[in-house]
């Protein structure tokens, strides 16, 4: 099973015939294909149908399940939400809204000159407008054993829950990584009263964004909550024969029966190399979600969007941003001229410590970063500036400053 974007790429079921036909032969005026069935793609389809009952819409999705909420996966793992409540749509929703849903399939090729896409089952679907709403791949360790877990898809959550159910108490577990997913693993493992060791390559969490005091504030909070922290620990190998028993790093080894891996995500764009699209870290689009090719839009985790607040092309990477981008793409496909001007916001809580990211926090893009608060005060704020204008901020245990900084970034 190969991990691709939002999904696992599996053997395709026997394909069903598609009602999509060559241009000019259908009863609808416009044929729109959406690649990706996550929140961005589904929001786009939903908005299109809301605005028009005439356009033909097809969603090509690698996953075999209807849309579900990634945000709810940690709650499902902690037993606070039933599995069925993770789903935001059911299979009937697509038919009820006259949206063709093609699950378990991948687009292998885009022919923009002749306006068609080629699917893994050999079919070619013509389009008038194309929306690329793919996802991101989880970065994986170079080796694998039973006990290694990731957390990006519903299948990942099911696998992790199975591993957790098999463990005795007390049980030693590990987390490798220093970002959002690593934080989710910590919260989940703490919920089950596991003995946790956290290791990461940098000096602290989000080491490319946070300053030394912000990082140290998080590290101390973890230690205060009886978590062993191993900063600047490079992964060497897994220990165990068939099942995980521990992890070797260049700093020290630690025992664990489960290792939650959160070492980053990468946009699924390798298949677009010969597409003619302008690709950087993601598919480059303007603030209207338009690519460099006519009639092709990109949204969500694979879109490198022009940020109107910072003047910077970047991947937004949040659930809310993906949802809004989907709606804006739909509106512009149907002739409007809407702009994505949202200030992105990502909020998480690590065992009671609030961590917030607002806007553009790329240190290389910013001209200046100002710091408010301190480790001794128990809260730190970083404000990122470009040409003397605030473009982003990080807040560690300073939630009360969020509204002020959001307004400053919006200008």
186 lies in some domain: yes
* pLDDT, averaged across the chain: 92
Chosen domain end from 304, 333, 362: 333
Q: Give residues with Cβ within 8 angstroms of 174, minimum separation 6.
A: 196, 197, 198, 199, 247, 254, 256, 258, 259, 260
> pLDDT category, 2, cuts 50, 70, 90?
very low
Distance of alpha carbon 196 from alpha carbon 173, whole angstroms = 5
Same domain, yes or no: 299 and 360: no
For residue 5, pLDDT beyond 70: no
pLDDT at 14 over 70: no
H-assigned helices in 262-383: 319-333
Q: 136 or 243: which carries more pLDDT confidence?
A: 243
Q: How far apart are CA 123 and CA 223, in angstroms?
A: 55
- Whether 116 is covered by a domain: the verdict is yes
390-391-397 Cα angle (round to 5): 85
Q: Residue 346: which pLDDT band, with cuts at 50, 70 and 90?
A: very high
Which range is least confidently modeled, 43-57, 109-123, 260-274, 326-340?
260-274
In this prediction, residue 385 carries a pLDDT of: 98
**338 inside domain:** no
Per-residue pLDDT tens digits for 102-144 = 999 999 999 999 999 999 999 999 999 999 998 888 999 999 9
Pair 122, 150 in one domain: no
Structure tokens at 253: 């080894």
207 and 146 in a single domain? The answer is yes
Query: Quick one: CA dihedral 341, 397, 394, 153, positive or negative?
Result: negative
Task: Assess if residue 379 is contained within a domain.
Answer: yes
> Is residue 60 domain-shared with residue 75, that is, in the same domain?
yes
Give 234: exposed, middle or buried? Use CB within 10 Å, 0-12, 13-18, 19+. Answer: exposed
Residue 382 lies in a domain: yes
Q: Does 112 fall in a domain?
A: yes
| 7 phi, psi to nearest 5 deg | -135, 175
CATH number at residue 406: 3.30.390.30
Is the pLDDT score of 196 beyond 50?
Answer: yes
263, 291, 319 — which closes off a domain? 263
Whether residues 115 and 159 share a domain: the answer is no
CA distance 246 to 226: 19
Question: Looking at 277, 304, 333, which one is the last position of a domain?
Answer: 333
Within-domain flag for 196:
yes
pLDDT of 19 reads: 42
Is the domain of 153 the same as that of 246? yes
pLDDT tier, 23 (very low <50, low <70, confident <90, very high otherwise): very low
If asked whether residues 237 and 312 sit together in one domain, one would say no
Domain that holds residue 48: 2-136+266-333
Q: How far is 333 from 43, CA to CA, in rounded Å?
A: 13
Give yes or no: residues 9 and 107 share one domain.
yes
pLDDT tens per residue across span 222-237: 999 999 999 999 999 9
Q: Are residues 243 and 282 in the same domain?
A: no
pLDDT at 71 over 90: yes
The answer to whether residue 215 scores a pLDDT higher than 70 is yes
Both structure tokens of 164: 């957790």
CATH classification at residue 82:
3.50.50.60
In this structure, the answer to whether residues 37 and 92 fall within a common structural domain is yes
Q: Would you say residue 16 has pLDDT above 90?
A: no
pLDDT at 11 exceeding the cut of 80: no
Residues 309-322, mean pLDDT to the nearest whole number: 96
Overall domain count for the chain: 3
pLDDT (average), residues 90-98? 97
Question: For 249-307, how does the pLDDT look when each residue is reduced to its tens digit (9 = 90+)?
Answer: 999 999 999 999 999 988 888 889 889 999 999 999 999 999 999 999 999 999 999 99
Would you say residue 240 has pLDDT above 50? yes
Cα(142)–Cα(148) distance, rounded to whole angstroms?
12
Max Cα separation, the chain?
Answer: 70
| Paired sense of beta strands 389-396 and 353-359, if any | antiparallel
Q: Are residues 258 and 275 in the same domain?
A: no
Q: How many DSSP H helices and E strands does the chain contain?
A: 8, 28
pLDDT for the residue 279: 95
- What pLDDT, on a 0 to 100 scale, did the predictor assign at position 45? 98
Q: What is the pTM of this model?
A: 0.90
Residue 272 lies in a domain: yes
* Predicted pLDDT of residue 238: 98
Q: 122 and 233: one domain?
A: no
**Burial state string for 238-247 with b = 16 or more CB within 10 A and e = fewer than 16:** bebeeebebb
pLDDT > 90? residue 8: no
Residue 169: pLDDT band (50, 70, 90) is confident
């Amino acid at each position: 099973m190969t991990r691709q974007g939002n999904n696992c790429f599996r053997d395709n079921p026997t394909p069903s015939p598609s009602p999509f036909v060559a241009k000019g032969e259908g009863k609808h005026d416009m044929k729109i294909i959406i690649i990706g069935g996550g929140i961005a793609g589904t929001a786009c389809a939903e908005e299109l149908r809301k605005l028009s009952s005439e356009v033909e819409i097809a969603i090509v999705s690698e996953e075999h399940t209807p849309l579900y909420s990634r945000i709810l996966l940690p709650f499902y793992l902690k037993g606070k939400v039933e599995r069925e409540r993770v789903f935001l749509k059911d299979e009937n929703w697509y038919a009820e809204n006259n949206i063709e849903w093609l699950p378990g399939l991948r687009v292998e090729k885009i022919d923009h000159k002749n306006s068609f896409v080629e699917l893994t089952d050999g079919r070619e679907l013509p389009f008038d407008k194309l929306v690329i709403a793919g996802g991101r791949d989880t970065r994986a360790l170079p080796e694998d054993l039973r006990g290694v877990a990731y957390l990006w898809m519903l299948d990942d959550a099911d696998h992790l829950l199975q591993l957790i159910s098999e463990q005795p108490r007390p049980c030693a577990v590990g987390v490798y990584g220093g970002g959002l997913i690593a934080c989710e693993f910590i919260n989940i493992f703490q919920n089950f009263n596991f003995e946790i060791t956290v290791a990461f390559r940098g000096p602290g969490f989000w080491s490319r964004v946070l300053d030394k005091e912000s990082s140290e504030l998080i590290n101390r909070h973890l230690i205060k909550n009886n978590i062993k922290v191993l900063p600047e620990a490079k992964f060497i190998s897994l220990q165990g024969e068939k099942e995980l028993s521990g992890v070797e790093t260049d700093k020290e080894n630690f025992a664990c029966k489960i290792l939650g891996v959160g070492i980053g995500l990468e946009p699924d764009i390798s298949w677009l190399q010969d597409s003619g699209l302008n690709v950087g870290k993601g598919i480059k689009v303007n603030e209207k979600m338009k690519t460099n090719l006519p009639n092709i839009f990109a949204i969500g985790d694979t879109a490198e969007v022009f940020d109107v607040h910072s003047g910077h092309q970047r991947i937004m990477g949040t659930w809310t941003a993906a949802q809004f981008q989907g709606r804006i793409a739909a509106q512009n496909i149907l002739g409007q001229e809407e702009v994505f001007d949202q200030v992105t916001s990502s909020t998480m809580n690590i065992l009671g410590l609030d961590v917030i990211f607002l806007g553009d926090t790329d240190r290389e893009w910013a001209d200046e970063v100002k710091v408010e608060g301190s480790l001794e005060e128990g809260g730190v704020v970083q404000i990122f500036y470009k040409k003397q204008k605030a473009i982003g901020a990080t807040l560690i245990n300073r939630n009360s400053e969020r509204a002020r900084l959001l307004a400053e970034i919006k200008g």
